[in-house]
Amino acid sequence: MSANQKILVVDDEQDISDLISYNLTKEGYQVYTAPNGKIAIEKAKEVNPDLIILDVMMPVMDGIEACRIMRAMPEFKNTFMVFLTARSEEYSEIAGFNVGADDYIAKPIKPRALMSRINAILRRNAQDNVEEVADKFEIADLVIDRDSFLVFRGNEKIVLAKKEFELLYLLASKPNKVFTREQILKAIWEDSVIVTNRTIDVHIRKLREKIGDNYVYTVKGVGYKFELNFNDN
């Protein structure tokens, strides 16, 4: 990746911070570190990172609070923020997304998987700066054709209903990004009809029945994402 891209790693465990920093530096990123959320905010103001990796549980100020504060600052409104934690409780994951997290990575760290995830997030950042996604693009083993409202997997043609296709197109256009139900409702149904969360869930279920369960993932209490599965080695 570009040497101009800057990443701030925030973790109070020195060995974890060193491991992540080493692997990011090998990839060509400019890496900065901070031991807690309070210092991270000051460091972020100083270096203006493209992405911030935040541990959830830290002394002085935890990652959740630091993310909440930075998301309220105009300069960090669009900065990618990824939580890193050993905690598996569902409520902490929901809390992270509720304050503006873009992704969630669990400890113990698996370097190749972490680098793949970070590279994908920053590629998505570049895609977000393009006016619109291509009408036809490949992702995972799918080809998504907006003109024909068709999906292809190898020689197999998958026919989707209009809203099912629009859901898939939305999620796949930004892989690994979590879309809240509110964002999905606004993007797919706009304000023209009254729909509920149940409507989204039903369409997701029908979409999975047609393309399989290995693409669209549920983030409990938040929404859905199109997930690219990375090598855990």
Residues 68, 211: Cα–Cα separation, whole Å = 36
Picking from 117, 127, 138, the residue whose alpha carbon sits closest to that of residue 228 is 117
Q: Where are the alpha helices (DSSP H) in 130-216?
A: 162-173, 181-184, 197-211
Confidence (pTM) = 0.64
Q: What is the CATH number of domain 136-226?
A: 1.10.10.10
At the topology level, CATH places domain 6-128 in Rossmann fold (3.40.50)
pLDDT on residue 132 = 52
* 124, 171 contact by CB (below 8 A): no
Picking from 110, 40, 46, the residue whose alpha carbon sits closest to that of residue 81 is 40
Encode burial over 151-181: b for 16+ CB neighbours within 10 A, e otherwise.
bbeeeeebebeebbbbbbbbbbbbbbbbbeb
pLDDT on residue 70 = 95
- Each domain of the chain, given as residue ranges in start order, spans 6-128, 136-226
* 145, 136 contact by CB (below 8 A): yes
* 223, 179 contact by CB (below 8 A): yes
Tens place of pLDDT per residue across the chain (233 aa):
455 799 999 999 999 999 999 999 998 999 999 999 999 999 999 999 999 999 988 999 999 999 999 999 989 988 989 988 776 556 666 777 778 887 878 788 888 888 888 887 777 655 554 445 567 888 889 999 888 888 999 889 998 888 899 999 999 988 888 888 888 888 887 655 566 677 888 899 999 999 998 899 998 888 899 987 644 44
